[in-house]
Amino acid sequence: LDELWSAAAAAVHSWRHSPEWPLLAVSKLLLASSALHWLGFRLARFGLIFAPTEWEGRTGWRKPMLFGVSNAMVFGALAKGLAAQSVMPRATSAHAAAWSTAVEVAVITVQSWRGQPSHFNTSTRVDAALYAAKLTGVTILGVVCLATAAGCVLRCQHTSAPDRAALRCGLLLLSCAVLVGFGQVAYGHSLLPRADSEITEQECRRVTVDVAGAPCYEVYGEALLKILHFVPLHSTEPLLLLSWASVRAGRSERQSLRSVHHAAAGLALLTLASTWQVARAGKLSLPGLARLDLEPPAALMVVAGTLAVLLAFGEVALAPLGPGMALATTSRKKG
């Protein structure tokens, strides 16, 4: 843990002085906002300072907190990817992604404070303007993520082979999450009530997959679409961690590369399982994934994918106990 902390501190220091510094600056703001929202909600539950509020739902405080933490994590992977590729302009891309996301999360936060939904809310001119700003922000971030993934696939350099594999595989999975997000926006707009329709927004909501009042844009059959978006969203971070840990464990580049590929294959299987469930309009929720409450092909993919990820991390964790590492340690002591 000490080595991990030291490596993280060194990476943040390098990040602060790199062309990707806007991503770090906005990450700090997002994490601070998330912490304040969590604290505010805890105080509100006891009737302190804030009025009683809700955690879940379209206007709950969970949304600004979750979006802050999630985007900060994505920024770490995005900064690493931008620095490794040589196709996209690093500084311009970092500024575009950072400040557009700041606008997106700011809109989500303001709407939560106002007690108004931030997604697909065009009920008033103010709500419509805020929603348009949010949609613009998330579109810019998505385009930068897709372009960075393409840059890493086409021309990735200035990093080791295991890190290149982690970035390529992780950012490709992140691109899947971005495309799912774009698809969900299109799907949601196709469900919005039209002026000539008798369907109201309230009637468009229903209870399904154990989620009360889930709006239609989050649901397809019995599948919760945001799970398909979430599963591949943070693939790059564990793959980069695995690559770093494998090298620190004294394993060869070939061994580290193999572990990264195995873990990436496992994460891809989890994404495919979620895609299968959505395509079949079957049950898809986080509790359902944990209970394997899925169709047999998807359940098999979840088991295989989970085992692949666990085995990849397991062999890295056990590497220092191997005879090769033990011999190397003895040699260093004698020296």
Among candidates 11, 37, 35, which has minimal Cα distance to 23? 11
Both tokens of residue 128? 């419509």
| Cβ neighbour number for residue 132 with a 10 Å cutoff | 12
Cα end-to-end span (Å), the chain: 26
Amino acid letter for position 217: Y
Tens digits of per-residue pLDDT, 53-81? 665 556 567 778 888 899 999 999 999 99
pLDDT score at 229: 92
pLDDT tens, residue order, the chain (335 aa): 677 788 888 888 899 999 999 999 999 999 998 888 888 777 777 766 666 666 555 656 777 888 889 999 999 999 999 999 999 999 999 999 999 999 999 998 888 888 788 887 888 899 889 999 999 999 999 999 999 999 999 998 878 999 999 999 999 999 999 999 999 888 877 776 554 444 444 444 443 444 445 566 777 877 888 889 999 999 999 999 999 999 989 899 999 999 999 999 999 999 999 999 999 888 877 777 777 788 899 999 999 999 999 999 999 999 887 655 433 443 444 44
284 with 226: CB under 8 angstroms?
no
Whether the pTM exceeds 0.75: the reply is yes
Residues 6+ apart with CB under 8 A from 208: 214, 219, 222, 224
- Our CA angle for 145, 92, 5, nearest 5°, is 65
pLDDT, position 270: 95
CA distance 65 to 99: 18
Q: Are strands 223-224 and 219-220 parallel, antiparallel or unpaired?
A: antiparallel
- In this prediction, residue 224 carries a pLDDT of 81
Can you give the pLDDT at residue 330?
39
pLDDT of residue 57: 58
Cα separation, 95 vs 22, in Å, equals: 6
